[in-house]
């Protein structure tokens, strides 16, 4: 029986700035098991006085990387755990984690077929695990990512996405909802039906869709994809919050 729900002590082995408010932490795990892209871990922090709190973080890395996972954490205003992970944690620090968790919002190469990913803000994290896995596994079926961010500077994994988009039939479309650099050719508005139609149409009605981000974005995108012709049973969603609802 797999021990996915037991806590283990992760050690931070590296930190990388992704954007001014987002960092990736590489965690070495003594009891690593391969995750399915889309799954998450719970992180539990315990203070010296015994106060303890936990939050969920999606795995950003591909399961082919053994013994460690990446999590990517975005700063939430007044956030307790995100601020600690971004401002206080350093290489060599240790904290408890358990996982991988989740069996619904997952995609791997065995599912095959056209893949549509829609992400907002840090909602791109589990989608990135899918894209990294897809690249390493050499999946050639078409994939499209629609990624909503507030500004160009807030696009997480920008350079890697550009690289991934040059191979294996991946197309990436961005919408920048607050500010855009001069000469920006992507979308400039919140996700709507017209945008979803543009992005999803080339994949046809057999695409499998994964939507992740703030609750409001997930609801708009899931309803919209149905309206533009994707069957509800082909759409999977993950809401990041607030409070994971
Ligand atoms: C399955 C799952 C996977 C997740 N994966 C990731 C991930 O890969 N990267 C990541 O950065 N986060 C992820 N989250 C969100 C994460 O679990 C925390 O909710 C987030 O880091 C905020 O925690 P905090 O302690 O900093 O904020 P808190 O102290 O809990 O909250 C501070 C304030 O911010 C609000 N708030 C809490 N969470 C959010 C949110 N997500 N968006 C907007 N407002 C919020 C609260 O209502 C409160 O008002 C995931 C959530 C779920 C349920």
164-170 contacts, C-beta under 8 A, 24 or more apart: 164/131, 164/132, 164/135, 167/135, 168/134, 168/135, 168/138, 168/139, 168/140, 168/143, 169/140, 169/141, 169/142, 169/143, 170/131, 170/134, 170/135, 170/142, 170/143, 170/144, 170/145
Using CA positions, which residue lies closest to atom 20 of ligand 1? Answer: 82
Mutate to test the pocket of ligand 1, among 36, 61, 71, 79 (most ligand atoms within 8 A of CB): 79
For residue 2, pLDDT beyond 90:
no
Q: 120 CB contacts (<8 Å, ≥6 apart)?
A: 147, 148, 149, 191, 212, 213, 214, 217, 218
Does ligand 1 lie within 6 Å of residue 107's CB atom?
Answer: no
| 201 CA → ligand 1 middle, Å | 32
Query: Considering the entire predicted model, what is its pTM?
Result: 0.96
> How does the average pLDDT of the chain come out, rounded?
95
Domain match, 140 and 208 both = yes
Question: Taking residues 52-78, what's their average pLDDT?
Answer: 97
Angle at 209 between CA 67 and CA 5, to 5 degrees: 35
Domain contains 115: yes
Query: How many separate domains does the chain show?
Result: 2
Read off the pLDDT band of 4 (50, 70, 90): low
Question: Do 125 and 233 fall into the same domain?
Answer: yes
Q: Please say if the pLDDT value at position 198 is more than 50.
A: yes
Task: Please state the rounded mean pLDDT for residues 112-133.
Answer: 97
Q: Does pLDDT of 127 surpass 80?
A: yes
Find all residues with CB under 8 Å of 93, minimum gap 6, and list them.
11, 12
Instruction: From 101, 133, 157, give the residue that closes a domain.
Output: 101
Classify residue 2: in a domain, yes or no: no
Same domain, 198 and 127: yes
The answer as to whether 219 is a domain residue is yes
Separation of alpha carbons 43 and 214, rounded Å = 20
Average pLDDT of span 37-45? 98
Q: What is the pLDDT of residue 243?
A: 38
Per-residue pLDDT, 3: 55
* Residue 230, domain member (yes or no): yes
* 149 within some domain: yes
Region 85-98 average pLDDT? 97
* For ligand 1, mutation pick of 55, 78, 150 (most atoms within 8 Å of CB): 55
The verdict on 68 and 35 lying in the same domain is yes
CATH assignment at residue 90: 2.40.30.10
Pairing verdict, β 208-213 and 235-239: parallel
Of 99, 97, 120, the closest CA to residue 189 belongs to 120
> Quick check: 244 pLDDT over 50?
no
Tell me: do 125 and 208 sit in the same domain.
yes
pLDDT in tens, 208-224: 999 999 999 999 999 99
- Contact between residue 10 and residue 97 where contact means Cβ atoms under 8 Å apart: yes
Amino acid 166: pLDDT = 85
In a domain, 225, yes or no: yes
Are 125 and 232 within one domain? yes
Residue 150, domain extent = 109-239
Residues 138, 97: one domain? no
Of 56, 73, 101, the position where a domain reaches its end is 101
Rounded distance, CA 150 to CA 111, Å?
32
Task: Say if residue 59 is in the same domain as residue 148.
Answer: no
At 165, give phi and psi (nearest 5°): -70, -10
194 and 143 in a single domain? The answer is yes
Among residues 85, 101, 117, which one ends one of the domains?
Answer: 101
**What's the mean pLDDT in 138-167?**
96
Half-sphere exposure of 214 toward its Cβ, with a 13 Å CA cutoff? 13
Residues 158 and 220 in one domain: yes
CATH number of domain containing 155 = 3.40.50.80
Q: What is the mean pLDDT of residues 177-203?
A: 97
User: Tokens at residue 71, please?
Assistant: 């999590």
For residue 73, the ligand 1 atom closest to its alpha carbon is: 11
């Amino acid at each position: 029986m797999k021990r996915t729900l037991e806590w283990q002590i992760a050690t931070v082995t590296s930190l990388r700035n992704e954007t001014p408010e987002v960092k990736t932490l590489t965690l070495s795990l003594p009891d690593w098991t391969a995750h399915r892209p889309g799954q998450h871990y719970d992180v539990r922090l315990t203070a010296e006085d015994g106060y303890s709190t936990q939050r969920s973080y999606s795995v950003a890395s591909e399961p082919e990387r053994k013994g460690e996972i990446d999590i990517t954490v975005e700063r939430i205003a007044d956030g307790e755990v995100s601020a600690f992970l971004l401002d206080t944690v350093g290489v060599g620090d240790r904290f408890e984690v358990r996982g991988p968790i989740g069996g619904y919002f997952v995609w791997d190469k065995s599912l095959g077929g056209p893949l549509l990913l829609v992400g907002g803000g840090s909602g791109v994290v589990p989608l990135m695990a899918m894209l990294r896995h897809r690249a390493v596994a050499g999946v050639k079926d078409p994939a499209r990512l629609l990624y909503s961010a507030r500004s160009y500077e807030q696009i997480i994994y920008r350079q890697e996405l550009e690289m991934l988009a040059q191979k294996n039939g991946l197309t990436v479309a961005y919408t920048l909802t607050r500010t855009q650099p001069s000469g920006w050719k992507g979308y400039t508005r919140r996700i709507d039906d017209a945008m979803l139609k543009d992005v999803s149409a080339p994949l046809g009605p057999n695409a499998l869709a994964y939507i992740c981000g703030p609750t409001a974005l997930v609801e708009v995108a899931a309803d919209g994809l149905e309206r533009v012709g994707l069957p509800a049973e082909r759409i999977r969603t993950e809401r990041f919050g607030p409070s994971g609802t």
